[in-house]
Structure 1
Amino acid sequence: MSAPARVLVVDDSATMRGLITAILSADPDVSVVGQAGDAMQARAAIKQLNPDVITLDIEMPDMNGLEFLEKIMRLRPMPVIMVSTMTHRGAEATLAALEIGAFDCVGKPVPGDARPFGDLAEKVKAAARSQRGYARPDTSAPVSRPSVADFRVGRKIVAIGSSTGGVEALIAVLQKFPANCPPTVITQHMPSTFTKSFSERLNRLCAPVVEEATDGARLEIGKIYLAPGGDYHLTVASASAPQCRLVDRPPVNGHRPSVDVLFDSVAELAGRNAIGAILTGMGRDGAAGLLKMRHAGARTVGQNEKTCVVYGMPRVAYELGAVEQQLPLNAIGEELLKLTAARKESD
């Protein structure tokens, strides 16, 4: 990127606007071109300043962040990073924003935070580089799912990794899964207070049971397990039967949970009886683990550049030779099913 990413900071708190501005201004590749305290000010600033990216508070007076985001995506689609309180209510609203089309989210800092707003500057730069088309994914219309009776599920495990853009990507993939889908484990980079709400949201939108993974949970047909954010890595292991294990290790590739840690464990446990998919996301987490899965005999899929919010993780995996085939997002769910379940012989 030859010029700094131009950012408009929108928050009803002057203190919060100042803190966000200070953090972003410390990066020479980011330029804060304006601030706004409410939606009316933000609308005028967008017209005047034409920013590359907006940071947007969820809770604002008169028109809240979700309502304003809806208008942005309808009238002037552009990258928006949501700034949310780290509460259950804030998590629900942020997930709704990501479904509407927000680029990513960050949590507002709490006392003792060593890195307020985490990697906000990196997310802003990735958002400014993004060439995606911003449009709301359809999560209300009925989806076409394979009939449960049409598939015979074997002993295979599906493992999926995703990051920026992963909320809508995972919805698109998992809505293709039938109620008797193969056991599926997922690591999505997301703050700890968001993963519980996200698993509940996926459970409402998808035919299989979706739950936040717990230590010792047995891998079962018809269940999808989402790594909890924050303190542990999700892995799979076998005692009397394959199960989820939450392990306390340092962050890997800057992340905990890490996609690489999950994929490594799936390669060791399942080998050729596994399928791996790496979806949209910044950085390289998951690329080495997916390569390990492929070397162990697993089938592997990567999201293609055109449909990624950020073609980072899938790109690195493809360049390493970890990706057997690249597919558009709308084809990945069906392909995973083809790789894991056979049609009835009568078909």
Structure 2
Amino acid sequence: MRIAIVNDVVLIGEALRRMIVQTSEHQVIWVARDGEQAVQFCSQNRPDLILMDLLMPGIDGVETTRRIMQEAPCAILLVTASPEDNTGLVFRALGAGALDVTATPIITGKPGMDSALLAKIRTIGKLIAADKPSSARTASPGKVTSETGTEPRTLVTIGSSTGGPVALARILGAWTPPEDCTVVIVQHIDENFTDSFAKWLGQQIKRPITVIEDHMRLERDRIYMAKTNDHLVFDGDRKFSYSANPRDYPYRPSVDVFFRCVALHWHGNAIGILLTGMGRDGAQGLLAMRHAAMLTITQDQASSAVYGMPRAAAEIGAAELVLPLERIAGELGQRVGGRGG
């Protein structure tokens, strides 16, 4: 891949450059020392991937990401010191269009951080290459014992990726689900940041988010979020579990896998929503939900940070409704009830 680096610390930028060129898989096409320079360089010579610092003088990584995604969109990986201490900025940058985040290996000095960064770069390369019809297979959830209880009347499933954090905050901030409804979110995000993302999103919408543990039982009046890099699955016994299969699928956790489980095993009212994101994950799963007579919604192009996943769904007829982000909460309010929207 053709990779660019944005970092105001010369030594870190050079160390990242050397790390990349030593792989022989990639080339570094330019290095920018601040956000303004990065926007300019990107418009003149757009890379496949940018390694973006978050904290910089002038415009920070959030604003730089936003401008690049507006003017010369490309894949962006946040590589920054102590991301866990700057979660607000991290999720704003993810909402502006960054794909993922990792700590700067040169600063942390932790064993394996170099290989972790290179692994993320390889995964993003697969995402870029995988912008073609999805080949995800539905994982088989482990059989669990059925329990009694009152299940929600409506299950709302939301899949999102690039730009998802802010989109999720806007929808769930404008619409409070009724007590007989449950929401399940599958967002592409590294498992190391899931807990902090759930906390951040809960603060934005002023409601707690339940991070899904293996074999957790689905209950009404909850907002759940997938936790791991494995795929979230669900079966007729109303319990969640995680599966590593399909192992070769680059989108993790996969929206396709979970949506297909809902189409197969959920027998009540359900709504599938596919938001902004790079690639094609979720399109086939959303189509399965539509074939199961469930309402399916995708975000429109104008309001998407990256019009990849919703476009893929629209192309195969998976979306019953294509809506701008600001109208999705209102549609949920009309269909399901609840406050706001």
For 2:253, which of 250, 253, 257 is the aligned residue?
257
* Structure 2 residues not aligned, in runs of 5+: 106-112, 131-150
Q: Which residue of 2 aligns with 1:322?
A: 318
Q: Deviations over 1:285-340 (max 9, x none)?
A: 11111111111111110111111112111111112121101000111122123222
Q: Does 1:117 align with 2:105?
A: no
Structure 1 segment 118-197 matched on structure 2, within 5 A: 118-120=122-124, 155-178=153-176, 180=178, 182-197=181-196
Q: Which residue of 2 aligns with 1:332?
A: 328
Q: Does 1:104 align with 2:102?
A: no
For 1:68, which of 57, 60, 77 is the aligned residue?
60
Q: Does 1:296 align with 2:292?
A: yes
CA separation in 2, counterparts of 1:45 and 1:234?
37
* Structure 1 residues not aligned, in runs of 5+: 127-152
CA separation in 1, counterparts of 2:195 and 2:171?
19
TM-superposed CA distance for 1:111, in Å, is 5.3
CA separation in 2, counterparts of 1:48 and 1:319?
33
Normalising by the residue count of structure 2, what TM-score does the alignment of the two structures yield? 0.73
Distance 1:23 1:279, change over 3 A: farther
Provide the secondary structure at the position in 1 that maps to 2:271: strand
Partner AA of 1:262 in structure 2:
F
Residue range with higher mean Cα deviation, 82-91 or 171-180: 82-91
CA separation in 2, counterparts of 1:156 and 1:123?
32
TM-superposed CA distance for 1:254, in Å, is 1.4
CA separation in 2, counterparts of 1:49 and 1:336?
38
CA separation in 2, counterparts of 1:331 and 1:11?
39
Q: Which residue of 2 aligns with 1:16?
A: 16
CA separation in 2, counterparts of 1:176 and 1:302?
17
Partner AA of 1:234 in structure 2:
L
CA separation in 2, counterparts of 1:24 and 1:185?
41
CA separation in 1, counterparts of 2:274 and 2:80?
27
TM-superposed CA distance for 1:26, in Å, is 2.5
Q: Which residue of 1 aligns with 2:203?
A: 204
Q: Does 1:95 align with 2:81?
A: no
CA separation in 1, counterparts of 2:3 and 2:328?
34
CA separation in 2, counterparts of 1:332 and 1:278?
11
Q: Deviations over 1:186-239 (max 9, x none)?
A: 111111111111111111111443121112333333311111132x22122343
TM-superposed CA distance for 1:5, in Å, is 7.5
Partner AA of 2:60 in structure 1:
F
Distance 1:285 1:97, change over 3 A: closer
CA contact (8 A) 2:38 2:64 kept: no
CA contact (8 A) 1:208 1:223 kept: no
Distance 1:170 1:21, change over 3 A: farther
CA separation in 1, counterparts of 2:163 and 2:41?
28
CA contact (8 A) 1:11 1:17 kept: no
Partner AA of 1:104 in structure 2:
L
CA separation in 2, counterparts of 1:33 and 1:158?
43
Q: Does 1:245 align with 2:237?
A: no
Distance 1:299 1:24, change over 3 A: farther
Distance 1:9 1:70, change over 3 A: closer
CA contact (8 A) 1:156 1:270 kept: no
Normalising by the residue count of structure 1, what TM-score does the alignment of the two structures yield? 0.72
Q: Deviations over 1:259-294 (max 9, x none)?
A: 011101111222451110011111211111111111
Partner AA of 2:98 in structure 1:
F
TM-superposed CA distance for 1:244, in Å, is 2.5
Identity within the alignment, %? 32
Q: Does 1:277 align with 2:273?
A: yes
Q: Does 1:222 align with 2:221?
A: yes
